[in-house]
Structure 1
Amino acid sequence: MKTALLRSLLGVLLCLAMSAWAQGGSGTVSGSVLQARGQQPLAGVKVSAASSALASPRTTLTDARGHYQLPSLPAGLYSLRFEKESFQASTRVDVKVEAGQTLTVSVELSPLASPFPPAVASGTASHSFSPLAPFAPPLRLESDGVAWMVVPRAGDIRDRAPPWALPQASTLAPEGAGQSLFFTPGSRPLRDSDTRGHGVNPTIDTEEERVSTYTLQVSTASYALTRGYLARDSLPAEEAVRVEDFVNSFEPGEDGDVVGPFAIHVEGFPSPSRKGYHVVRVSVRAREAFTDVGVQLEFDRKAVARYRLVGYENQSATPEPFDDDAEPVAVPLAAGTSVTAVYEVKLMGPAIAFGTLRVLYEEGENTMWRRVQKLLPSSVLRSSATRVAPSTRLTYVAAAFAEKLRGSYWTRTLDWARLHALWQEIGEPLASRPDVVELGALIKKAGALDQRRDRFGPPGSLSNMDPDNLPASGR
């Protein structure tokens, strides 16, 4: 009897010892998140813990009291990031988690200032914004790190132009001085093309890469293919849908601001499908004929936290090398031709401008490269869709239509009925144009045919979508 009792006691002690050992290598981080103004608790704040001790960052959300808890974190140094829509993000680095202990880390988040300059009474001066660092590095001819932009064309969807870019990107140092980042083809920091051909483009943190280059190789083939499928009461294959083809199937109409031999139109408004982001339309129209044209968009880190290029995923992620002895492929751009790209941009704070658009061009053979650039003022980012041009609303509807057909994670919250309603809000003079009328009919038919299951979760999960990152199982 005594022996059995002794064995039972030893077993209990052993279990307790093993439990203590298992928990001894981990700790807990908890705390509260408050508004800097008023000290009210903030619910729904995304709290992320990143460390070399973790295979992937651990995340949680604050509750109604603004409280959060991250249990069972392996001991080590952590970086904590606190993010919520309409508030400035906060990061705490070198947070030391010790085994068996609970660490309290509380923060205050300040509201995100409006990206639009406040109204100023006539005769009064405003000094609300600090000037940006210069955006104009010296002309470097073919060393500006651009990709080639070509005229929209008709043709088979399998056609591919040479998808290469120069192996150098011109960026700005933190002090505003010009610098160049060199990299080998296919290596970092070409983050904006990492997943091309594999779902939608990723969202890029400007701290990792602020310069976006892409091959404006577009046609109308994918949109024509989709029209044919819908005419036969069938949805096209997701991989056959190219957003850039849909967008560039519609003539925007107006030219925009004249910048040298180009007309550039840049305009944006809050995204109807992605909280905290603006949809930005970038159109470049050639006023003359050119032998070669390239484009580059550089975001200001003081104004933009993240961005995503919408479409162009089918371009190559491994540009071919370019050196002084190589001859670029001649890609003529006809006078009057317009090419449009769409971005999703997350603003971080007030600024005079949120980026710079550069266009590199060559007018004929054996001539020097020339470049024009346009500072992109924050004033072009309107407060609502009703304040942008009908052509910008049309651009978004066409892009969103393509993304929904592709099953994009970022259009989950935009159902077909809402997309059709946005089409109805495009406005004149475009709303009655035959191709725009047909677009509305195609959206309505696609909505009726779409019986696909949401691969990212049940409908109830829409309220918990992370506005910045795809889920781990996302494409």
Structure 2
Amino acid sequence: MKPTLCNALCVVLLLLAAPARAAGILSGTVVHASDRSPVPEVRVTATSSVLAESRSTVTDAQGGFRFPELAEGAYSLRFEKESFQALSRTDLVVKTGQETRVEVALAPTAPSRPSVLAPTPSDNDRERAPAWTLQHLPVLVPDGAWQTVYRASLGKPVSGIETRGFGVNPTIDTEESRVSEFPVAVDTGAYAVARDYLSRDVLPGEGVVRTEAFINSFNQGNEGEPYGPFQLYVEGFPSPSRKGYHVVRISVTAREAVREVGVQVEFNRQSVARYRLVGYEYLSPSPEPLEAGDETELFPLAAGQTVTAIHEVKLSGPAIAFGMLRVRYEQGTSTSWRRVQMLMPSSTLRSDYGRATASTRLAYVASAFAEKLRGSFWTRALDWPRLLALWDGIGEPLRGRKDVVELGALIRKAQALDTRKDRFERLVPAGSSDFDDVPALGN
């Protein structure tokens, strides 16, 4: 046998004999908090700074789940299932060649009965629905479908999971709470699901649409100013769908890998009367101070990764800045909290949609598309032709990008498939809508 051929065979044999590089495993079981029975079909999402993108699975009939072949590092898990309170576990360490197991107990959400709660008459904007006392109420509307709306509660304040876990987020009065928070972990899979439905000429169900997934499915560039390991960007313009409100886009981009990231927006009460976080209904925590030791859900951000949120904001007076953007994080091997903050100057609020950057216009169109699909009350004044006009107004070069072209095609497809009637028309005619509150419901 020739020496070169012999050497090549030896190399192959050595490679075959070498042990395969072991990877770590993250697994566990999800049980019912009351009787410890297994809970199947729970959506489990794993995120980590060592992952290029999040990974998801569902629990089997025994409540078990398993993520094989994970790179070594720290992971966070998110557990979600309808009729159960969402739960997160953080700081789960995966090591090469080892299996990390966890057991999670999910508690059911409190049952609610279909009911109608009459509003308290008031002409004072400041006396309208307070922030964390807004209840979610499933209401049977005239077309026979269920629509979740929010009305002011006459009882004591309830927890954030009760007010923020269902339906469309409420509008909050800054006299009651001026703080809005949103997690940096966003699963964009919901946009892919909706896109698949539309490709098959089926309008996606309102329950499968997640607005934050639509917004964050599009690369919006690297705009903003550097603040520590982040690039922060804020911009707004008058809302095309909600009279008297401004759309405010907030983007946080990691310039370096960071751990345990929390984002908080604190609105200036002298400048902002009311606000609504668009999307994040299944993820957003209750409004609490962003301080060490609180229960805010924190997740890692990989270098180059961006999270974007949109708020609807009602201005009440002039001010140099209408709020403050804060980001808390850990970095490197340090376990101490660090924080950066940026004033949100009123000068970033443009006079109209066309003066905002193309990336901000794209983020808004994506969010409005999702809200239209969800049947949100706040987009009833924005019909499909107007939404298509706003898509066309995104402008070049973004409008010609492949994914943005596809977005326009999906909007046209949804317009053709949407045969739903305005479910609120019998309750409140479109011409008399209250842009601060959901309709006054009656029998």
- Pairwise CA distance, 1:454: 1.6
Q: 1:464 to 1:334 in 2, by over 3 A?
A: same
What does 1:130-149 correspond to in 2, within 5 Å? none
Partner of 1:308: 276
Q: Counterpart of 1:160 in 2: which secondary structure?
A: strand
- Pairwise CA distance, 1:224: 0.1
What does 1:253-268 correspond to in 2, within 5 Å? 253-268=221-236
For residues 329 and 301 of structure 1, the distance between their equivalents in structure 2, rounded to whole angstroms, comes to 25
For residues 446 and 371 of structure 1, the distance between their equivalents in structure 2, rounded to whole angstroms, comes to 42
Correspondence for 1:277 among 245, 267, 276:
245
Correspondence for 2:78 among 138, 144, 160:
160
Letter in 2 for 1:160: R
Partner of 2:352: 384
Q: 1:350 to 1:329 in 2, by over 3 A?
A: closer
C-alpha deviations, 1:351-389, integer Å up to 9, x for none? 000000000010034431110000000000010011110
Q: State whether residues 157 and 222 of structure 1, in contact with CA within 8 Å, keep that contact through their aligned partners in structure 2.
A: no
For residues 244 and 402 of structure 1, the distance between their equivalents in structure 2, rounded to whole angstroms, comes to 9
Give yes or no for the alignment of 1:420 onto 2:388.
yes
Correspondence for 1:237 among 198, 205, 208:
205
For residues 323 and 301 of structure 1, the distance between their equivalents in structure 2, rounded to whole angstroms, comes to 20
Partner of 2:165: 197
Partner of 2:435: 467
Q: State whether residues 328 and 337 of structure 2, in contact with CA within 8 Å, keep that contact through their aligned partners in structure 1.
A: yes
Correspondence for 1:348 among 309, 316, 324:
316
C-alpha deviations, 1:54-96, integer Å up to 9, x for none? xxxxxxxxxxxxxxxxxxxxxxxxxxxxxxxxxxxxxxxxxxx
- Pairwise CA distance, 1:455: 1.4
Q: Counterpart of 2:340 in 1: which secondary structure?
A: strand
For residues 434 and 408 of structure 1, the distance between their equivalents in structure 2, rounded to whole angstroms, comes to 28
Correspondence for 2:379 among 395, 403, 411:
411
Letter in 1 for 2:359: S
What does 1:330-369 correspond to in 2, within 5 Å? 331-369=299-337
Q: State whether residues 256 and 302 of structure 2, in contact with CA within 8 Å, keep that contact through their aligned partners in structure 1.
A: yes
C-alpha deviations, 1:177-217, integer Å up to 9, x for none? xxxxxxxxxx9878876533321000000001001122233
Q: State whether residues 150 and 217 of structure 1, in contact with CA within 8 Å, keep that contact through their aligned partners in structure 2.
A: no
Q: Counterpart of 1:431 in 2: which secondary structure?
A: helix
Q: 1:415 to 1:191 in 2, by over 3 A?
A: farther
Gaps of 5+ in 2: 1-46, 59-76, 80-86, 91-154
Aligned CA-pair RMSD: 3.3
C-alpha deviations, 1:243-272, integer Å up to 9, x for none? 000000000013311112211110000000
Correspondence for 2:265 among 291, 294, 297:
297
Q: State whether residues 220 and 359 of structure 2, in contact with CA within 8 Å, keep that contact through their aligned partners in structure 1.
A: yes
- Pairwise CA distance, 1:450: 0.4
C-alpha deviations, 1:263-309, integer Å up to 9, x for none? 11100000000000000000000011112211111000000000000
Letter in 1 for 2:230: F
Letter in 2 for 1:274: R
Q: 1:343 to 1:323 in 2, by over 3 A?
A: closer
Letter in 2 for 1:234: V
Letter in 1 for 2:312: E
Q: 1:191 to 1:305 in 2, by over 3 A?
A: farther
Q: State whether residues 202 and 308 of structure 1, in contact with CA within 8 Å, keep that contact through their aligned partners in structure 2.
A: yes
User: What number of residue pairs does the alignment pair up?
Assistant: 305
For residues 293 and 343 of structure 2, the distance between their equivalents in structure 1, rounded to whole angstroms, comes to 32
- Pairwise CA distance, 1:330: 7.5
For residues 208 and 394 of structure 1, the distance between their equivalents in structure 2, rounded to whole angstroms, comes to 32
Letter in 1 for 2:177: E
Letter in 2 for 1:216: V
Q: State whether residues 198 and 410 of structure 2, in contact with CA within 8 Å, keep that contact through their aligned partners in structure 1.
A: yes
TM-score by length of 1: 0.59
Letter in 2 for 1:432: G
Q: Counterpart of 1:456 in 2: which secondary structure?
A: coil
C-alpha deviations, 1:217-240, integer Å up to 9, x for none? 312111000010001100111011
